[in-house]
Amino acid sequence: MSTNKLVKPSKTKLSVAASPAFERVGFLGLGIMGSAMAGNLMKAGFEVHGFDPTTKARQRFKSAGGHVSKDAAELVRSVDVIITSLPSPDALIETANVLARAGRKGLLVIETSTLDIKDKDAARDVMAKKGVTLLDCPLSGTGAQAARKDLTVYASGPAADIRRLVPVFEGFSKAHFDLGPFGNGMKMKLMANLLVAIHNVSTAEALLLGQRWGIKPSTAVKVLSDGAGGSRMLQVRGPMMENEGWKEVTMKISVWQKDMKLIAQALADAQVPAPLFAATIPLYNAAMGMGHESNDTAAVFDVLEKMSSISNKVAGKKTALRKR
């Protein structure tokens, strides 16, 4: 089981002499994040194999130069290390069983999904019985950031294995941290996503205020980003809040709901009051109700804009009644 102890994070440095090369990397899950990471690894010179149950994802991967495997079992036999980017706990457990059956002793698996620590613990235990090592390595960054290699890896698990995997981390990310015992990666990820939830909404609030004053969101993002009020969400999602930019998806609202539930549960378990996070929940729920489930989380701007329009109409009606 994972421990609550959090060691001092460290950015590991690549030592070519001490790190055996992983020339062939396998991907299980070729969605927005997986396909972007795979692309960067190919650019870095790795031979990348992959599998995804979706035909479109496999075709896109093949067109990018990847080697498509017919299933997860074939993929395992073709590579030196596996990276998983999965949508659900069920997918993780199913993958763990396949890798335990088909994988060889000593195989390393980099698990990058945002899932409950208990589910990752269960998957780790299944693989460990067959000598396969699972590392908990969630990522900080959106799909657009992944494409630009602007990701941070929150790695947790055996320190020696994390050091061996540095060349792979450097192939698809800008930074990587060794956070100690398995599960600490997910804890840091939930902390990061709590901030993302709040900063995304605060960005929408500020940009909508500016828009009401006649200041374009694009102008506001440019001016505010380097100031005291700047944030990565302002820089990354702010531009998507203009001209319905949320239709270009880096994180679907429907997928984000999973992350929100994980954060809420973590806060409840730790008995941490979180009034700011709690205030954002209705806005993301409203986005789902307004039909934004397949749009980017930047669509909270549309929620606030519609709320503002309704408030203005109600205020206008009340003013008209008083004048009668």
DSSP string, 282-303: HHHHHHHHTT-TTSBGGGHHHH
Q: What is the pLDDT averaged over residues 31-37?
A: 95
> Residue 17's pLDDT band (boundaries 50, 70, 90)?
very low
Q: What is the mean pLDDT of residues 26-44?
A: 96
pLDDT of residue 22: 85
- Describe the chain by its helix, strand, coil percentages, rounded to 5: 55, 10, 35
- Cβ distance 190 to 14 under 8 Å? no
- Residue 18: pLDDT over 90: no
| Cβ atoms 100, 73 nearer than 8 A | no
Pair 257, 284: CB distance under 8 Å: yes
**By percentage, how much of the chain surpasses pLDDT 90?**
87
pLDDT digits (tens, 9 = 90+) for 46-59: 999 999 999 999 99
Count of Cβ atoms closer than 10 Å to residue 23 Cβ: 12
Q: End-to-end CA distance of the chain: give it in Å, rounded.
A: 69
The pLDDT, as a whole number, for residue 8 is 47
- Span 116-123, average pLDDT: 97
List the structure tokens of 107. Answer: 């195989």
Residue found under tokens 């061996």: 164
Confidence at residue 316, expressed as pLDDT on a 0 to 100 scale: 55
